[in-house]
């Protein structure tokens, strides 16, 4: 396996979008950031220089980093921030990941502009489980705020209310033809008739699942979160923040140009989304007069189309062949039930914009996570007391009808603390992720660091522990690192706790992270030497 070395210079760079110019935080001046390429099993060494004016960390989303959480990146979970003017060398060890992943800043909301794709191709002498595409096209869905993102966050947290929505969605950094002053920059890709393209899609949007569709073309889904799926054809996809999807697009339509378009999905009408549509252009090479304007996809679902979400999701099945065998644990030793809720906290001043003069909070099992002062990994490794507690509950402390209509107000109040859940090495774990109807409920894309997990079941309403497991798929459940729990629904995931370390789990909606919808696992060392944490590198940033 190969070692790839990269240099990431994090710095402010002026960018013009939507008729005005501002400085944004970038890597190497690029927005979206550089696409990194590797093959399965390779290692990347990335020297991150912070030349900006705010703290930063970089996370390698979906890379398991076996026994080496030191380079995982979430601020105050596995490392202290890289301070302005300092540098940190991260070692990213790929194992069995194959397909598209991505990297992003993991400190406040800096991932809004500090993100990029990580493309992992099959290792030498191995192949794609589908005919080799003629070319690859990264498609990064993103977002743009006219104001400074850090100011948006500060105002949001100070007000106690919900976040201001962004001013545009982006495809590869561009808002597209339907937004003011954007036409010249619209992302355009040229294709040749008869060829097949692998679209490597990342949803780097902060707070929304996104629909995506290409006018006149069907697309074939072949993978997600760097694991292969049984291929299926579709007119549109829905992708949650944090998720990645690999798609094949055959250029088999009449020579012309066509819009690719994306818009937000809102599981709870009225909750934070922008109703605009971003577009990019797919243009066939050749001598012809293109239609004007390009046609928009007529299969792009509407903002509130929950059926479109559910039917797309239902098609995800792990490839499960000889080269890519399925390893779902059949005998579960640890059963966990986690509720994900939006809650309230008493507000210190009278000006809070949250419900009934309170401010918003969010929780897992009714604990709203508080970021510690020293990262949990360091505190665990060096046995520093007083940084975190290890009492994160296995089941919610309050039993109630999670998705019922009128929920008693006392369930809305949460504890604020830093708790981890400890897992013995080798435990086989099932977690039922249960959404709740507190404050109406929304969907929650839940991401676990350090692992991929099998999604053995999901549904709407309350999880029924007698009936629902009877319908689990333990033959070819999709292998994911991020799973969107439907609004007032649930998802059941399974994994074997064979990667020691400290691993963050959180909703990938940024506003929910800020409100505390986070928790962490500590997976203990195993008995043999190769089941233990590796030592930290000498240049870990200090707190």
* Residue 72 backbone zone (phi > 0: left; psi -120 to 50: alpha; other: beta): alpha
For 490, the enclosing helix (H) or strand (E) is strand 489-496
Count Cβ neighbours within 10 Å for each residue of 295-314 and write b for 16 or more, e otherwise. ebbebbbebebbebbeebbe
Kindly indicate which of the ranges 214-222, 260-268, 304-312, 500-508 contains the residues binding ligand C2O, using the contact rule CB under 6 A. 500-508
What mask of x and - would describe binding to Cu ion in positions 439 to 468, judged by CB under 5 A? Answer: -----x------------------------
Q: Which of 211, 411, 463, 509 binds Cu ion (CB under 5 A)?
A: 509
Q: Which of 63, 152, 201, 507 binds Cu ion (CB under 5 A)?
A: 507
For the CB of residue 69, give the shortest distance to ligand C2O in the complex, in Å.
12
Residues contacting ligand C2O: total by CB under 6 A: 11
For the CB of residue 468, give the shortest distance to Cu ion in the complex, in Å.
22
Q: Which is nearer to ligand C2O, 104 or 494 (CB)?
A: 104
The DSSP symbol for 357 reads G
For 154, the enclosing helix (H) or strand (E) is helix 149-159
For the CB of residue 148, give the shortest distance to Cu ion in the complex, in Å.
24
Q: Which is nearer to ligand C2O, 203 or 365 (CB)?
A: 203
If contact means CB under 5 to 8 A according to the sort of partner, which of ligand C2O, Cu ion, none does residue 74 touch?
ligand C2O
If contact means CB under 5 to 8 A according to the sort of partner, which of ligand C2O, Cu ion, none does residue 444 touch?
Cu ion
If contact means CB under 5 to 8 A according to the sort of partner, which of Cu ion, ligand C2O, none does residue 507 touch?
Cu ion
Q: Which is nearer to ligand C2O, 118 or 261 (CB)?
A: 118
If one asks whether residue 487 binds ligand C2O (CB under 6 A), the answer comes out as: no
Within 13 Å of residue 533, how many CA atoms lie on the same side as its CB?
21
CA 543 – CA 373 distance, rounded (Å): 7
**36-39, strands of its sheet edge to edge:** 36-39, 115-121, 99-105, 58-61
CA 299 – CA 297 distance, rounded (Å): 6
Q: Which of 41, 74, 138, 329 binds ligand C2O (CB under 6 A)?
A: 74
Q: Of 269, 267, 277, 22, give the one whose Cα is nearest residue 169.
A: 277
Q: Which residues 241-280 are close enough to bind ligand C2O by CB under 6 A? A: 242
Kindly indicate which of the ranges 217-225, 307-315, 490-498, 510-518 contains the residues binding Cu ion, using the contact rule CB under 5 A. 510-518
For the CB of residue 343, give the shortest distance to Cu ion in the complex, in Å.
12
Q: Which is nearer to ligand C2O, 74 or 294 (CB)?
A: 74
If contact means CB under 5 to 8 A according to the sort of partner, which of Cu ion, ligand C2O, none does residue 263 touch?
none
Phi and psi, residue 381, nearest 5°:
-65, -40
| Tokens of residue 294, six digits | 């390009």
Kindly indicate which of the ranges 309-317, 330-338, 429-437, 503-511 contains the residues binding ligand C2O, using the contact rule CB under 6 A. 503-511
| Tokens of residue 377, six digits | 């990994």
If contact means CB under 5 to 8 A according to the sort of partner, which of Cu ion, ligand C2O, none does residue 511 touch?
none
For the CB of residue 449, give the shortest distance to ligand C2O in the complex, in Å.
6
If one asks whether residue 46 binds Cu ion (CB under 5 A), the answer comes out as: no
Helix (H, G, I), strand (E, B) or coil at 311: helix
| Tokens of residue 164, six digits | 């201001």
The bridge status of strand 87-93 relative to strand 43-50 is: antiparallel
Helix (H, G, I), strand (E, B) or coil at 277: strand
If one asks whether residue 64 binds ligand C2O (CB under 6 A), the answer comes out as: no
Q: Which is nearer to Cu ion, 336 or 517 (CB)?
A: 517
For the CB of residue 524, give the shortest distance to ligand C2O in the complex, in Å.
21
Number of other residues whose CB lies within 10 A of the CB of residue 248? 20
**CA torsion, ordered 448, 450, 453, 459, to nearest 10 deg:** 0
Q: Which residues 104-133 are close enough to bind ligand C2O by CB under 6 A? A: 104, 106
If one asks whether residue 59 binds ligand C2O (CB under 6 A), the answer comes out as: yes
Q: Which of 273, 340, 503, 504 binds ligand C2O (CB under 6 A)?
A: 504
If one asks whether residue 106 binds Cu ion (CB under 5 A), the answer comes out as: no
* Residue 252 backbone zone (phi > 0: left; psi -120 to 50: alpha; other: beta): alpha
Q: Which of 200, 263, 359, 447 binds ligand C2O (CB under 6 A)?
A: 447
The bridge status of strand 277-284 relative to strand 188-191 is: parallel
Q: Of 134, 244, 262, 132, give the one whose Cα is nearest residue 190.
A: 134
If contact means CB under 5 to 8 A according to the sort of partner, which of Cu ion, ligand C2O, none does residue 512 touch?
Cu ion
| Tokens of residue 81, six digits | 């921030």
* Contact criterion met (CB below 8 Å) for 55 and 15: no
Number of other residues whose CB lies within 10 A of the CB of residue 145? 23
Helix (H, G, I), strand (E, B) or coil at 150: helix
If one asks whether residue 444 binds ligand C2O (CB under 6 A), the answer comes out as: no
Q: Which residues bind Cu ion (CB under 5 A)?
A: 444, 507, 509, 512
Q: Which residues bind ligand C2O (CB under 6 A)?
A: 59, 61, 74, 104, 106, 242, 447, 449, 504, 506, 508
């Amino acid at each position: 396996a190969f070692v790839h070395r990269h240099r990431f210079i994090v710095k402010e760079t002026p960018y013009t979008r939507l008729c005005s110019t501002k400085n944004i935080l970038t890597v190497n001046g690029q927005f979206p950031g550089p696409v990194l390429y590797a093959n399965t099993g390779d290692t990347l060494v990335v020297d991150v220089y912070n030349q900006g004016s705010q703290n930063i960390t970089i996370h390698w989303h979906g890379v398991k980093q076996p026994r080496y959480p030191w380079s995982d990146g979430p601020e105050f979970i596995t490392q202290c921030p890289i301070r302005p003017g300092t540098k940190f060398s991260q070692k990213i060890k790929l194992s069995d990941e194959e397909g598209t992943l991505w990297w992003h800043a993991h400190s406040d909301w800096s991932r809004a502009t500090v993100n990029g794709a990580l493309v992992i191709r099959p290792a030498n002498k191995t192949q794609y489980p589908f005919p080799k595409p003629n070319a690859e096209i990264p498609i990064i869905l993103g977002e743009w705020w006219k104001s400074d993102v850090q100011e948006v966050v500060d105002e949001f947290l100070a007000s106690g209310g919900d976040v201001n929505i962004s001013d545009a969605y982006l495809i590869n950094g561009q808002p597209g033809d339907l937004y003011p002053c954007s036409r010249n920059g619209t992302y355009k890709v040229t294709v040749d008739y008869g060829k097949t393209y692998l679209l490597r899609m990342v949803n780097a949007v902060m707070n929304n699942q996104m629909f995506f569709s290409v006018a006149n073309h069907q697309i074939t889904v072949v993978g997600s979160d760097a694991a292969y799926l049984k291929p299926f054809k579709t007119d549109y996809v829905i992708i949650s923040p944090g998720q990645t999807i690999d798609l094949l697009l055959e250029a088999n339509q009449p020579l012309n140009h066509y819009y690719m378009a994306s818009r937000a999905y809102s599981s709870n009408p009225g909750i934070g989304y922008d109703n605009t549509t971003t577009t990019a252009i797919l243009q066939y090479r050749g001598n012809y007069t293109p239609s004007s304007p390009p046609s928009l996809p007529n299969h792009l679902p509407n903002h509130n189309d929950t059926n479109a979400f559910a039917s797309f999701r239902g098609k995800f099945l792990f490839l499960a062949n000889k080269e890519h065998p399925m390893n779902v644990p059949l005998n579960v030793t640890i059963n966990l039930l986690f509720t994900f809720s939006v809650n309230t906290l008493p507000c210190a001043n009278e000006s809070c914009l949250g419900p009934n003069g309170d401010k918003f909070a969010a929780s897992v099992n009714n604990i709203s996570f508080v970021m510690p002062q020293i990262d949990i990994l360091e505190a665990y490794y060096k046995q520093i007391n007083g940084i975190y507690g290890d009492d994160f509950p296995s089941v919610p402390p309050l039993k109630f009808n999670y998705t019922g209509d009128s929920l008693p107000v006392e369930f809305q109040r949460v504890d604020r603390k830093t708790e981890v859940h400890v897992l013995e090495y080798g435990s086989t774990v099932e977690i039922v992720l249960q959404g709740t109807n507190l404050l109406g409920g929304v969907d929650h894309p839940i991401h676990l660091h350090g692992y991929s997990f099998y999604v053995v079941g999901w549904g709407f309403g309350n999880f029924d522990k007698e009936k629902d497991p009877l319908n689990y798929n333990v033959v070819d459940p999709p292998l994911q690192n991020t799973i969107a729990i439907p609004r007032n629904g649930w998802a059941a995931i399974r994994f074997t706790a064979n990667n020691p370390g400290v691993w963050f789990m959180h909703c990938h909606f940024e506003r929910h992270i800020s409100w505390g919808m986070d928790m962490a696992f500590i997976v203990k060392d195993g008995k043999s030497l190769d089941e233990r944490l590796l030592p930290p590198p000498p240049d870990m940033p200090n707190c």
